Structure 1
Amino acid sequence: MDCGYFDAGRCTSCALMGRPYEAQLAEKQRHAEELLAPFGVGEWLAPVASGERDYRNKAKMVVGGTVDAPTIGILDADGHGVDLQACGICSPGHRAAFPVLARFISLARLTPYDVGARRGELKHLIVTESPDGELMVRFVLRSTEPVARIRKHLPALLAELPNAKVVTANILPEHKAVLEGAEELVLTEQQTLPMRLNDVTMHLRPQSFFQTNTAIASALYAEARDWIRGIAPDRAWDLYSGVGGFALHLATGGGAYGGPMDASGPAVTGIETSVEAVASAELSRSDAALHRLRFEAGDATEFALAAPADAVPELVVVNPPRRGIGARLAAWLEASDGVSHVLYSSCNAASLAKDLAAMPALRPVRARVFDMFPQTTHFEVMVLLERR
C-alpha cells in the first residue's frame, strides 16, 4: 500500500507503510515465533491476513485549523492541524463522512481547539463504523457551550449523513493529552451502535473499547470458539471482557455443543473494569437472551483471587491490555489446578512471553497471529494453553 501523506512526511504513524504486505505479515509471524520459542508451542497455525487498507472501523481524529477551514487528522510538531481526510487505512465510510463533518463544524460554529493558545472548543472527532455501515459520531469538546448549537443543527447533519445513527458530545475540559473525557451526552434517540460479527451482535456504547479491525476481530472470535469445541467446558471466565466479544461467542457456542444457542455453550462470566463496556455487554447478553452469561464490573485479578475454590472454571479467557496480565494473575492461574485451559489473546507478544514464563504448568498447544493492524508493527496473537 502507498500513502501520499506518508511519502510527503505529513503523517508517519504507519511505520511499515510502503513495505510489501507479505513481508510485513512474515515479519510479524517470525517475531511472534521467536518470542514464544522458549515455551515450545505445539502448533503454529498460518497467520490470518487482513486487507492492507480500509481496515479501521474507528477513526480518532484531531480537529485543527479554523472554524471556516477545519482540518480533520493530526497536529504537527508546532500544533498546527494536518488534514488526513483521505487516509487509506480508515474505512470508506469514514472518508465519505469526513467532508460532511467538516461542513458541519463550520455550520455549527464549532471552533477547533488551539492547543498552544488553549482556546477553542472542538478537540477531536471519534467516528466508528459498524459492519452494516452505520456510524457513531462523537464530538469531543472542551465544554458544554457548543452543545446547543450541535443540537440545533443536528437535523441538517443527519439529513446529509443518514447513516450517522448515534451522535454524542463528549466533554473534556482538561488541557491534557487524552482522547476523551468522562462526561458523554447522547444527542440522538439511538444510543448504541450494533456491531454484528459472525452470529453475534454487540451493542457498542460511546466509551466502550472495540477491536479496531472488524474482519480480523470476527476471525479472532470465531477461532476462539472453534478452539474450545474440543474442550467443551461447563464454565468459563472471560477476564478483561470489554464489550463481551469472547464471552458472547463462547456463550452462544455456535452449535458447537449440539444444542440450541443458549444451551450450547458454557456458563460464562465476563469481568471488565469499564462500566460503559459492561453496560454494552449486558445489553448484548439481554438482547440475545443468554441466560448462562453474566457480566460484572471489576478488576480481573482481584476477581480471580477472591473466587472460592468451587467457583473456579475449567477455562479462563484473558485479553489484557498491552501490559499483559501481570505477576499476580499469572501466579493464580499457575496455581489453580481446576483451570485446565487458558485462552490468551494478546496485543503485545513481549508481555505475553513474560506472562507465559510465569505459568510453566500451562503449556501452549496452539498459537496464531491475527494481523489486526496492517502497516504497523503491531499484531494480535492468540494462544491456547493446556495444563501439563
Structure 2
Amino acid sequence: MHCGYFDAGVCRSCTLMGIPYDRQLAGKVAEAEQLLAPWADAVWLPPVASTPEAFRNKAKMVVGGTVDAPTLGILDADRRGVDLQGCGVLADGLRDAFPAITAFISRARLEPYDVPARRGELKNVLLTESPDGRLMLRLVLRSTESLARIRKHLPSLLEELPRLAVATVNLLPEHKAVLEGDVELPLTADETLAMRLDDVVLHLRPGGFFQTNTAIAAGLYRQAREWIDEVSPASVWDLYCGVGGFALNVAAPGRQVRGIEVSEAAVEGARISAADAGLDVIFEVGDATALTADAAPDAVIVNPPRRGLGAELCATLDGSGAHTIVYSSCNAESLARDLAAMPSLRPERVRVFDMFPQTGHYEVMVLLRRR
C-alpha cells in the first residue's frame, strides 16, 4: 500500500507502511510464536489475513483548522491540525462522508478547538460505518453552546449524507488528551448502529466498543464459536464482552451464556441485540475481575484490554472449574504473562488474526484446556 501522507512525513501512525503485506503478516506471526514459545506443544493454525487497505470501520479524527476550512485528522508537533481525510486505511464509506461533514462544520459555525490557546468548541469527529454502509457520527464538543445551531443544520447534513443513521453530541469540557467525555446527547431518533456479522446483528451504541476491522472481527467470532461448540459446554461466560459479539455467537439451545462488561452503553446495546435475535443471553454491567472461582462456568471467553487479565483474574481462572478458556488478545506480551500465570490451563491451539494491517498490532486467539 502507498500512502502520500506517510511519504511526506505528515503522518507516521502506520509504522509498517511500505512493507509488503505478506512480510508484515509473517513478521507478526513470528513475533507471536517467539512470545508464546514456552508452550511448544500448541498447534498454530494458519493466520487470518486482512485486506491491507480500506479496512478500518471507524475514524477518530481530531478537528483543527478554522470554521471555514476545518481539518479532520491529527495534530502536528505544534498541536495544529493535519488533514487526513484521504487516509487509505479508512473504509471508502468513511472517506466519502468527510466532505459533507466538513461542510456541516462550517455551516453550523462549529469552531475547531485550538489546543495551544485552549479556545474553540469542536474537538473530535468520531465516525463509524456498519457493514451495510450506514454511519454513526459523534461530534465531541466542549459545551452545548452550539447545540441549537447543530440541530438547525442537521436536516441538511442528513439530506447530503442519507447513510447517516445515528448522530450525537458528546461533551468533553476538560482540556485533556482523550477522545470523548461521559455525556452523550442524541440528535437522531435512532441511537444504535446495527452491525451485521454473518447471522448475528450487534447493536452499537455511542461509546460502545466494537472491533476496528469488521471482517477480522467476524473471523474471531467464528473461531470462538467453533472452539466452544467442539467442547459443547453447558455454561459460558464472556468477560470483557463489549457489545456481546462473542456471547451472542456462542449462544445455543440449552447453553447458559452470560456477558460481563464495565461499559453501560455496550451492555445496553448487547441486550438489544439479544432481544432482537430471540437469544436467551444475560448481559451484566460489572467488573470482569470480580469473578470468583466457585462461580465459574464450564467455559470462559476473555477479550481483555491491552494490559491483559492481571494476576488476580488469572489466579481465579486457574483455580476455577472452567475446563475451557478462549483467550482473544490484542497484546501478545500481556497474553504470554497471563498464560504463564495459569499453569493449570494448557494452550492447545493458537491463531493470529491481523486486525491492524500497516501497524505492528494484531490479535491472537488461544484455546486453553484444563490439564
- State whether TM-score is above 0.5: yes
CA contact 1:41–1:367 (8 Å) conserved in 2: no
* Residues 10-55 of structure 1: per-residue CA shift (max 9 Å, x gap): 1000000000000000000000111011023421001000001000
Q: Provide the aligned C-alpha RMSD in A.
A: 0.9
Write the distance in 1 (CA, Å) between the matches of 2:369 and 2:198: 26
Structure 2 partner of 1:139: 139
* Residues 300-324 of structure 1: per-residue CA shift (max 9 Å, x gap): 111x12x6x3x42110110000000
Please give the secondary structure, in 1, of the residue aligned with 2:207: coil
Question: How much has 1:347 moved relative to structure 2?
Answer: 0.2
> Structure 2 matches for 1:61-76, cutoff 5 A?
61-76=61-76
CA contact 2:229–2:250 (8 Å) conserved in 1: no
2:343 counterpart letter in structure 1: P
CA contact 1:41–1:363 (8 Å) conserved in 2: no
CA contact 1:6–1:12 (8 Å) conserved in 2: yes
Structure 1 partner of 2:319: 335
Write the distance in 1 (CA, Å) between the matches of 2:230 and 2:101: 49
CA contact 1:209–1:277 (8 Å) conserved in 2: yes
Please give the secondary structure, in 2, of the residue aligned with 1:339: coil
2:327 counterpart letter in structure 1: Y
Structure 2 partner of 1:106: 106
Structure 2 partner of 1:345: 328
Structure 2 partner of 1:284: 273
Please give the secondary structure, in 2, of the residue aligned with 1:230: helix
2:80 counterpart letter in structure 1: H
Please give the secondary structure, in 2, of the residue aligned with 1:37: coil
Question: How much has 1:106 moved relative to structure 2?
Answer: 0.5
Write the distance in 1 (CA, Å) between the matches of 2:181 and 2:317: 35
Structure 1 partner of 2:154: 154
Question: How much has 1:266 moved relative to structure 2?
Answer: 2.1
Question: How much has 1:361 moved relative to structure 2?
Answer: 1.0
Structure 2 partner of 1:358: 341
1:156 counterpart letter in structure 2: S
* Residues 353-384 of structure 1: per-residue CA shift (max 9 Å, x gap): 00000111100000100000000000000000
* Residues 259-313 of structure 1: per-residue CA shift (max 9 Å, x gap): xxxx1x621110101111111111111111112x1000010111x12x6x3x421
1:335 counterpart letter in structure 2: G
Asked if 1:312 corresponds to 2:296, the answer is yes
The runs of 5 or more residues in structure 2 that have no matched partner are: none
Structure 2 partner of 1:260: none
Question: How much has 1:80 moved relative to structure 2?
Answer: 1.1
Structure 2 partner of 1:89: 89
Write the distance in 1 (CA, Å) between the matches of 2:68 and 2:365: 47
Write the distance in 2 (CA, Å) between the matches of 1:226 and 1:126: 33
Give the alignment's TM-score, normalised by structure 2: 0.99
Structure 2 partner of 1:386: 369
Please give the secondary structure, in 2, of the residue aligned with 1:282: helix
Paired positions, count = 371
* Residues 105-151 of structure 1: per-residue CA shift (max 9 Å, x gap): 10000000000101110000000000000000010001011111110
1:289 counterpart letter in structure 2: G
1:354 counterpart letter in structure 2: R
Structure 1 partner of 2:79: 79
Asked if 1:271 corresponds to 2:255, the answer is no
CA contact 1:194–1:201 (8 Å) conserved in 2: yes
> Structure 2 matches for 1:14-25, cutoff 5 A?
14-25=14-25
Asked if 1:296 corresponds to 2:284, the answer is yes
Write the distance in 2 (CA, Å) between the matches of 1:312 and 1:3: 48
Write the distance in 2 (CA, Å) between the matches of 1:355 and 1:223: 21
Structure 2 partner of 1:368: 351
Asked if 1:244 corresponds to 2:244, the answer is yes
1:333 counterpart letter in structure 2: L
The runs of 5 or more residues in structure 1 that have no matched partner are: 254-262
Give the alignment's TM-score, normalised by structure 1: 0.94
